Amino acid sequence: MPVVLKIDPQRQVVYSAFYGKLTADEMIGHRAVIAADPDFKPHFNEIADFSAVTEADVSEATLRAMAANPSLYNASVVHIVVAPVEPLFQIASKFRDLVRTSRPNLFVVRTRAEAYNLLPDASG
């Protein structure tokens, strides 16, 4: 699966870096990988980084299916999608629009620096 999951308990961040060709099965299956990780906590914030994705095969039906699943995270969590190129930015923005009520703190940005600037202070 072209995704690397890193959970940082100190910073309270779940970081997923996707790369190569992104498929619907990988997007949907990654939820279970996060949930099964013993370091995962539902109050951690999330960054999904698509900076290294070269091709995306994710339909609107896939986005709707993902949006229909309840979030693994608490409602107050900040979710950030890093999508530097326009096609990925559009896909992420569609997802954000679909989950506006269930994940009100979902942001789509172009760079990792923007993503880390949006994270709340873990010590707070």
Q: How far apart are CA 124 and CA 122, in angstroms?
A: 5
pLDDT band at residue 1 using 50, 70 and 90 as cut-offs: low
Domains of the chain: 3-118 (3.30.750.24)
Q: What is the pLDDT of residues 26-75, one digit of tens each?
A: 999 999 999 999 999 999 999 999 999 999 999 999 999 999 999 999 99
Q: How far apart are CA 44 and CA 10, in angstroms?
A: 10
Q: What is the pLDDT of residues 77-87, one digit of tens each?
A: 999 999 999 99
Residues 6+ apart with CB under 8 A from 7: 13, 14, 15, 37, 39, 40, 44
